């Protein structure tokens, strides 16, 4: 292949926005010659490389937009150290609950792996090319309160409503003012039976009135979140504490 032809192909790929084909056509051509592939075989390999790279870039972009606090996957969760069903979480990771707009509630004490599991489900959804957003309950409320102050609440609510999956972490750690509860309720009510939501909380439902003082609003929120929900209890024994203890024992001579 002449240098002029090489440059022309690269330019065509640049104009057509096919950067992977532009960077790999020469290498794959050498492979095709060596393995005696047909013209169609070479073309298929070239297109497959472009598609694979586009898929990878799309997932990377979705993971970035999800604003995950840390990159944690279900594959990295030590189910044998917890009381959570690996089969249930792996089944959820397949994404049917997102398609059916079913809530997922993770309930347990601090350190029992709720946030890790929720993050893992968010990562799985991003890998399926779904639009995801992770936030804490406080972070969500602060964002909506700022939008309301700037007369942009409707626009902010619209952004949350358009997402395929949202995760609200740490609900129940801080008591919420009634206005804050109303803002969060709007987000959850807008998604009821239309889009999926994951919520992690350290409180059983009987104790939610401690952080949501309006009894009617509290009842309505629980009603929306538990309708057709997957409710997973992570227990009371700290997963992080047990893991740290095991690591220390293993490190002893």
CA atoms within 13 A on the CB side of 69: 13
In the chain, where the domains are located:
3-65, 74-246
**CATH number assigned to the domain covering 74-246:** 3.40.50.300
Angle between helices 137-149 and 153-161 (to 10 degrees): 140
Summary mean pLDDT of the chain:
91
Cα torsion for 213, 143, 124, 110, to the nearest 10°?
-40
Report pLDDT digits (tens) over 37-60. Answer: 999 998 898 998 888 999 999 999
HSE on the CB side for 46, CA within 13 Å?
23
Reply yes or no on whether the pLDDT at 1 is more than 60: no
pTM to 2 decimals?
Answer: 0.86
Q: What is the pLDDT of residues 214-250, one digit of tens each?
A: 999 999 999 999 999 999 999 877 666 666 666 666 6
Largest CA distance in the chain: 77
């Amino acid at each position: 292949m002449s240098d002029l032809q090489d440059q022309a192909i690269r330019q065509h790929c640049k104009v057509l926005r096919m950067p992977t084909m532009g960077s790999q056509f020469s290498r794959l051509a050498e492979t095709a010659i060596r393995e005696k592939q047909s013209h169609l075989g070479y073309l298929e390999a070239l297109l497959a490389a472009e598609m694979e790279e586009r898929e990878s870039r799309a997932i990377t972009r979705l993971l970035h937009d999800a604003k995950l606090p840390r990159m944690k996957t279900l594959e990295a969760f030590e189910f044998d150290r917890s009381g959570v069903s690996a089969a249930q979480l792996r089944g959820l990771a397949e994404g049917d609950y997102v398609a059916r707009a079913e809530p997922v509630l993770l309930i347990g004490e601090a350190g029992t792996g709720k946030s890790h599991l929720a993050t893992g489900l968010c990562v799985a959804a991003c890998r399926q090319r779904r639009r995801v957003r992770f936030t804490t309950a406080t972070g969500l409320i602060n964002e909506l309160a700022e939008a309301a102050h700037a007369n942009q609440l409707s626009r902010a609510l619209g952004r949350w409503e358009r997402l395929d999956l949202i995760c609200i972490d740490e609900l129940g750690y801080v008591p919420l003012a009634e206005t804050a509860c109303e803002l969060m309720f709007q987000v959850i009510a807008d998604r009821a039976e239309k889009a999926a939501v994951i919520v992690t909380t350290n409180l059983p439902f009987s104790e939610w009135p401690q952080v949501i003082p309006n009894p009617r609003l509290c009842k309505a929120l629980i009603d929306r979140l538990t309708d057709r929900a997957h409710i997973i209890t992570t227990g009371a024994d700290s997963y992080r504490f047990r893991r740290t203890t095991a690591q220390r024992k293993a490190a002893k001579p």
